Structure 1
């Protein structure tokens, strides 16, 4: 069997097998390369349904999905070549075997991917949108924030990660100095507008 695995008829499946092992090792050591959000920002109707069907739009990391696909492709290809050899005395040519294995392995991987997604722990991303910083308090780091003269401020998000943003007072007459805190209330592009901590509107918050 091992000798057959290195013949041209089986070589694509041998390559797929070794790639699968390599990707599996990457995931095993926890490099975190597999977590890609393929379903975000899908703008064309029907694409999300296709991704769902393939098992790609849930919590399954892309490299785990790819490892599963390579495994299904390898198993299906070897099974096809073994079956054809048994009945006809010789395996299929590698292009025909690859096409057959890709179709069969792809269908098999649909079920495998959905099964893996159910048993794997969910992946929680700490990536946030810029707008998620709104309604959070920040601290002016240096300089003085005035209308038309923004200053740098540090804001800590819900995951405990610090973000450095440029802020201006929401009110024309307000001045916010280094070390003072303010509430981010709106955003225009990359610039945030804030209410000073001592603003009367914030006394009850």
Structure 2
């Protein structure tokens, strides 16, 4: 069976099959390419309906899984077309003609497959966050002392348990945040973040007077 992939009539389907396997390996080793910004852009368009929604690209199916499914449908449709042509005429079709027919058959077939996969797969949740999500989180100064005009490196752990490293200055001119101290990130300016040290009076609990 695999010998037919080495013939010119099956070249497009052999290439599609190899690419499909490559994408599957990438997904399996967890390189996270399914979480590229491309996913977010396509999902946003799919939410509004239209062509992408009809093609099965939705919020519940990462783009690389959709692409793997498309390549699989294209390959299967192409093999089927060539096998039928060989059985009827004795020879397969020209690879270009077969590829065009496989694409026309593979796209609607993939729409059904993608919609089915989206229903059975757990919802796709990306761990990519915006830098604005660092606001109102606590970070720990790693080295040096953060002063106004002299930022220090701090570590923040997000809701996914991932560590991020940012440059921090105190929000107030008079404050200084030493290495090992914890501070609340309150605002940012570009890549620089400003924080209130844990000892700041605004962060202390209000104790009832006796």
Deviation at 1:126, TM superposition (A): 2.2
Q: Are the equivalent residues in 1 in contact too, given 2:59–2:124 (CA < 8 A)?
A: no
**TM-score (normalizing by structure 1):** 0.81
Name the structure 2 match of 1:158: 159
Q: Within 5 Å, which residues of 2 pair with 1:76-87?
A: 76-87=77-88
Mark the CA change 1:116 to 1:48 in structure 2 (over 3 Å): closer, same or farther.
same
**Separation in 1, partners of 2:82, 2:146:** 72
Deviation at 1:155, TM superposition (A): 1.8
Deviations 1:140-182 (A, max 9, x none): 2222222222222222222222222111111122222222221
Q: What do you get for the CA RMSD once the two structures are aligned?
A: 2.9
Name the structure 2 match of 1:13: 13
Deviation at 1:116, TM superposition (A): 1.2
**Separation in 2, partners of 1:45, 1:64:** 17
Name the structure 2 match of 1:198: 199
Name the structure 2 match of 1:32: 30
Q: Within 5 Å, which residues of 2 pair with 1:84-163?
A: 84-163=85-164
**TM-score (normalizing by structure 2):** 0.79
Q: Are the equivalent residues in 2 in contact too, given 1:48–1:57 (CA < 8 A)?
A: no
**Separation in 2, partners of 1:4, 1:178:** 65
**Separation in 1, partners of 2:20, 2:176:** 59
Aligned length: 202
Structure 2: tracts of 5 or more residues without a match: none
Deviation at 1:3, TM superposition (A): 6.2
Specify the SS of the correspondent of 1:158: coil
Mark the CA change 1:14 to 1:40 in structure 2 (over 3 Å): closer, same or farther.
closer
Return the structure number with greater helix share: 2
**Separation in 1, partners of 2:2, 2:183:** 68
Structure 1: tracts of 5 or more residues without a match: none
**Separation in 1, partners of 2:56, 2:88:** 34
**Separation in 2, partners of 1:14, 1:140:** 54
Specify the SS of the correspondent of 2:81: helix
Mark the CA change 1:180 to 1:90 in structure 2 (over 3 Å): closer, same or farther.
closer
Mark the CA change 1:47 to 1:94 in structure 2 (over 3 Å): closer, same or farther.
farther
Specify the SS of the correspondent of 1:201: helix
